[in-house]
Structure 1
């Protein structure tokens, strides 16, 4: 079919990404099971997400949401611009506003103190009180020049006045995290170099992240220095200046580093300046002074792609909570190690040395055990003509170790076929190897074995593997399955070059 032809064309590249899986499923009706089956035939590894169908459903819902959003935008374009009280006074907790538009669970007011989601900063939440009762505001977004509020609860009427109350505790946490993002960005640039540029950011209530451009993973020393300089700016309690400026004037004064968080639209841009430390064009809410942030703690750093490093951090009470939790865990560890905090490192080093020695002993015992398994398989080998068939069953041995045994047998006898079953607690796996002087195809042998025991198999002509999600009886494998496999080998596969 056309879909299968498209599948084979994609597999010819020896790779398969999620977008290709979606294309095959949505456009050609080829499900993941068929993709796996066809991929195994030619030895291409394909990983199907466990929640593939959920992801597809969510993508379809997303497309529907986009269509709905476009219709909604058309229905409110004639409304007047919403007065943004959250910019005029971000410390303001309440306001009175008039309802201009209501549809489903969305409402537009003539003015609002609720900040809409944008620039990596989540929207404000809170509540509105009106003649019909009370409604919970759980999301806010910007549609053109209009601010749309999403609510749960009683539905207000157009023309009514409502009392808006924002969750100030949550807002102030997000303000602290947002300003901390700017400070850490400036700190990273002073430590790492002028090439550092913000590649993305997301502010959260508990943790936030900043993605920066940098050519390699940060060292522990660099992380400590970035954190130290960021906290120094906090303790200096520098005023955070916010003003609207003509774009050309701002660019001339501060340069294009203004657009660390991305280029913002409009002839006038909102500039956030932290002393001489950092300046950015930004539409988010910020603290009044850097001292309002409190402690900044970098909790981890990740290299998320070539040239981009992610800094995950906490601020204020969340940072303190993180440190307190670590100290509590250290106390628990010292109790378990029967030592004190001063001697804990030395105690752990001693334990690690003992563990390394134990691991060495384990490897020695494991090597002996694998050699014993290999010898038993050799002892039970069966000759079919001048071909040696090694058939073995092992318990609770990693499949990678089984492959090592298989390779050892093939290396010492190139006129051999090796079949090993591995039984674990939840499943049974099997591997097939064919010597270099044998014309038999391991993939086809694996296919025949899967017909006998169930499950699926795949691979190449010289090596294949398969398995099934159940534990097969050892005696069944030792006798009935063995005889069936040997019969098939005698009658279908064994021939000389």
Structure 2
């Protein structure tokens, strides 16, 4: 069966068992601060397991895009070296929310694998939880008895807590699990060693394909377990591994999930990939295979993340995506000889292969291709830069072992991989101190852990069974009761308290809009709310202290000044989105936004710089919509299909429910959960303050509205008044500035001419100061010129003198600069290198630099070091 047919068979089977089939949630999570990425099939259903929401059906099935590259679930370093770990993978899942339990889940798993897919029963093994007396969790007798109906007892394996007890995290829903493993070895291998002995032993052909998790318990902060009010089933099946079993191969990479991508890499590089069936391959071929596996795996992760709205960057989730892509680029660079961007060429293959089931990869194909191409070009330049820095490190190393600290600096600052450094050093006859490197790496990890360490207490529920609601679209004040509280202690923010209210007017951060701030006021005290966020369908109000009486009645008051300014910026964002699509074209799509009280930031797809004229048109369009006094039209809780039929824009990478909120201002129609003005005239005025690139094909506009625009124009007026005063209040300020610029240009030319004449005069004086040392004409002196003049003078002297080694120092405006010139004949005969000279002498002026072997410069901060630098210069020729 082809992979597309296997996926369809699974979903059709569970549809026949009355499961609602739902689409995959985005791979990038935007509404769960506890996770960067969707790392399992159950992540999008956490709120239902926690009892904070109601699913649209008690039975659901799907295939979920997952990414495991950070935190507890991190498979990145295994990818490529084995044949079954991946960064991105699909997890087929069927879910029961308080409906069926072990009997049905296990029966259907067996039916699908053995009757629908017709996998060989003799190759299948199952496992059940052996129990844990220390935690008072018994042996899973129920699952064991169910399995005895389908398999002999010698095929039922008892698993420990590590293998057969699944937990969402340190706290939260958890329970025993029952796995199904398949033995894909040859008949001869199976006869020699029982598959039973290889289950959970990391054997590449004896692998888990299905995990049935029975959510029965809640793990509390103190480690104890309590029974959940309802029992749930959370199952996950590795799609790629299932394809391996169904296509009769022994590697995920030999399935049609990966073979089209591998074929494209072979076409681009001219190198061949060998199937896992081929044995006794050479070490060189093995390295090629690993590199190709890394690349075809990583391009899937990166492409789907970008399609879901996560651009590569230097922080957070964006840094993880950049790191995955750079790992792929580096493997191509080192082992496939690819010195030009090529991974972007795989996106078309991926889109054709998976676009039918995951339409986002098809619709965002051009953007994904452009972003990956630009990232490749950038990192290849970084690799070249790293090679130059490595040359410098080698030149400064005494002996044949490079400092591990220096190698870590290359890795940490420039993203230069350790193993690539080791390879290059080996070619040069060097090694590096791995102990020092690991020590620095561990220090960094310890700092990172310390910065992100968070301790969360259990929820203290004050009002049982309460359904918390949001009333903030209509009210900024409301009488409330606290329903639950918990303490959170982090290295970053210290001790904070999360408070949940029964009916809050506070808007939680989401859709680019920041969370509300305000107060909780009782008869006796006022508690400041410093932020509002949403987690697992709960609205969390953050405070530095709890009320003395948490059971009292309170008035929740939103800071309306901040709320009003934020709403103006949010509504202006919608109006600007429409203006951009009207003026630049309908290819423009929102790729990110930030809306706070001070300004708005909007990222959008567009493949060239927005011209000044286009920006003026966008501004004019938005302000025309403001002046038109467009009334807000709000559709709450309408079916998403109806909203789309009305012309609403849905954004890729966002998770929408069956019912949505639609916001209209004239022709602007968007799905949005944020806070808006009642009439566009409330925005007052819109002003763009900057436009620039964020990534390939992504532009960013920052703009202001309302009072911020008034302040902007006041500052402009004040600045103009100051300029006029400096210019002695001319009648025509512009004419006066132009005249000043003209005068300045004339004076610059005069100064340049004077300096050239000065350098000519100086040249005669310096020729007489040249000494001959060991057959080298040597001069090191300070000159009263600017750096450009020193450069001209150096070349003048070099053209007149052979065998010249020259170091000139300047100190214009207190900034020391060293200029080194080496005659080309000396570069070869005396092994003199101007770049190395200035790097060494630059230390004395607290700086550095570089250049070519015959000419280089170094700038610094310490003028007093010039004397010593010039004195040390002679040592290069002595």
Residue equivalent to 1:181: 573
Note the 1:61-460 alignment, pairs <5 A.
Answer: 63-65=452-454, 68=455, 81-87=467-473, 89=474, 92-104=475-487, 105-130=497-522, 133-243=525-635, 244-254=637-647, 257-259=649-651, 262-275=653-666, 277-339=667-729, 343-384=732-773, 386-395=775-784, 397-398=786-787, 401-423=789-811, 428-438=816-826, 439=829, 440-442=831-833, 445=837, 449=841, 459=850
Relative distance call for 1:59 and 1:369 in structure 2 (3 A) is: farther
Give the drift of 1:125: 0.8
Contact 1:258–1:279 at 8 Å: present in 2 too? no
Note the alpha carbon deviations across 1:100-129, whole angstroms, 9 max, x for none.
Answer: 222232211122111111222111111112
Give the drift of 1:454: 7.6
**Aligned equivalents of 1:370 and 1:355: distance in 2?**
22
Note the alpha carbon deviations across 1:51-105, whole angstroms, 9 max, x for none.
Answer: xxxx99985456335xx5xx579999x9755200113x0xx23111111222232
Relative distance call for 1:58 and 1:115 in structure 2 (3 A) is: farther
Structure 2 stretches lacking a partner, 5+ long: 1-329, 335-378, 388-403, 429-443, 488-496
**Aligned equivalents of 1:36 and 1:236: distance in 2?**
51
Give the drift of 1:134: 1.5
Give the drift of 1:366: 2.8
Contact 2:780–2:808 at 8 Å: present in 1 too? yes
TM-score, reference length from structure 2: 0.45
Relative distance call for 1:224 and 1:147 in structure 2 (3 A) is: same
Residue equivalent to 2:90: none
Contact 2:506–2:532 at 8 Å: present in 1 too? yes
Give SS of 1:259's match. coil
* Structure with larger RCO (C-alpha < 8 A, sep 6+): 1
Contact 1:80–1:146 at 8 Å: present in 2 too? no
**Aligned equivalents of 1:241 and 1:190: distance in 2?**
21
Relative distance call for 1:296 and 1:366 in structure 2 (3 A) is: same
Structure 2 residue corresponding to 1:13, chosen from 372, 383, 386:
383
Note the alpha carbon deviations across 1:454-479, whole angstroms, 9 max, x for none.
Answer: 857674644555566433377x559x
Give SS of 1:206's match. coil
**Aligned equivalents of 1:175 and 1:444: distance in 2?**
58
Contact 2:783–2:808 at 8 Å: present in 1 too? yes
Contact 1:380–1:391 at 8 Å: present in 2 too? no
**Aligned equivalents of 2:738 and 2:813: distance in 1?**
34
Give the drift of 1:135: 0.8
**Aligned equivalents of 1:34 and 1:217: distance in 2?**
33
Contact 1:397–1:424 at 8 Å: present in 2 too? yes
**Aligned equivalents of 1:470 and 1:258: distance in 2?**
57
Give SS of 1:351's match. helix
**Aligned equivalents of 2:847 and 2:411: distance in 1?**
12
Runs of 4+ with >6 A deviation: 9-12, 33-39, 55-58, 72-76
Contact 2:486–2:498 at 8 Å: present in 1 too? yes
Give SS of 1:216's match. coil
Relative distance call for 1:32 and 1:407 in structure 2 (3 A) is: farther
TM-score, reference length from structure 1: 0.77
Give the drift of 1:266: 1.9
Structure 2 residue corresponding to 1:471, chosen from 830, 852, 863:
863
Give the drift of 1:150: 0.8
**Aligned equivalents of 1:412 and 1:72: distance in 2?**
79
Contact 2:755–2:789 at 8 Å: present in 1 too? no
More displaced 10-residue stretch of structure 1: 354-363 or 381-390? 381-390
Relative distance call for 1:454 and 1:258 in structure 2 (3 A) is: closer
Relative distance call for 1:115 and 1:436 in structure 2 (3 A) is: same
